[in-house]
Amino acid sequence: MHVRKPTIGLAAVLTVTFSLMGGQAVAAPSATAPSEVADSAVAARVVTYDASGSAEFKSAVDRGAAIWNESVDAVELRPVATGQRANIRVLADNGWPRALPTTLGNGTVYIGRQAVTQGYNTIRISAHELGHILGLPDRKPGPCSSLMSGSTAGIACTNPYPDTVEKAEVEDNFSSALARTGGAVRSGVMIVD
C-alpha cells in the first residue's frame, strides 16, 4: 500500500498565499527529513468520481477506485462531494463495459451488464475502465496479470490490480501532466472493452 508523505511544499504555498494577501506568514518547520524531501512526490492530483448512476455496481466502482489509490501515488480517486461536479461519471447500462475519456482524469465510464452476465468480474471491470480514464490503453490480447488486457484474459480472471508497467504509466501520466496539455488519453474516443 502506498502512503503519501507530506512535503514542505504546503508551507511554501501558505507562505506565498499569506504574503500575497498582506498577512504575515511564518514558515512551518519541516517534519520531513532532508533525505526524504528528494524522495517525496508532488502531492497527488485528486480526481473525483460520481458512482451514483452505477446502480448495483457502486461497491465495485468504489473498490476499483481504492485499488488505484493503493497502487499509485500521483493521482487519488475520491467520491465527489454532494453538490459538486465529478471528473468521472460512472454509469450502469445493459451494453458492454466502455470508457469515454475526454482529457486525462476526466470522462465517463459505463459498467455494462452484458459482460457481467457473461461472467466477468465487476471489480476488474471497474478498475479496468477507470484505468482508461487514467490514460491507459487496452493491451489485448494479454494475460490475467495485466489489468488492461481486459476481456482477453477470460472470465476466470478476477485480478483487479494493475501490473508494474500499468502503475508506472499512470504515475508518469499524472506526474508529467503539468508539463503537458491535453493529457495522455485520446479525447472523445470511446474505448469499448
Contact 46, 78 (CB under 8 A): yes
Q: How far apart are CA 57 and CA 119, in angstroms?
A: 14
Q: How many CB atoms lie within 10 A of CB 84?
A: 8
Helix, strand or coil, per DSSP, at residue 160: coil
Does the active-site annotation cover 129?
yes
Integer-rounded Cα Rg, in Å, for the chain is 19
Counting every residue, how long is the chain?
A: 193
Backbone angles phi, psi at 88, to 5 degrees: -125, 125
Residue with cell 492530483: 45
Ramachandran area for residue 150 (φ above 0: left; ψ -120 to 50: alpha; else beta)? left
Contact 34, 93 (CB under 8 A): no
**Of the listed 36, 76, 129, 169, which one is catalytic?**
129
Active-site amino acid positions: 129
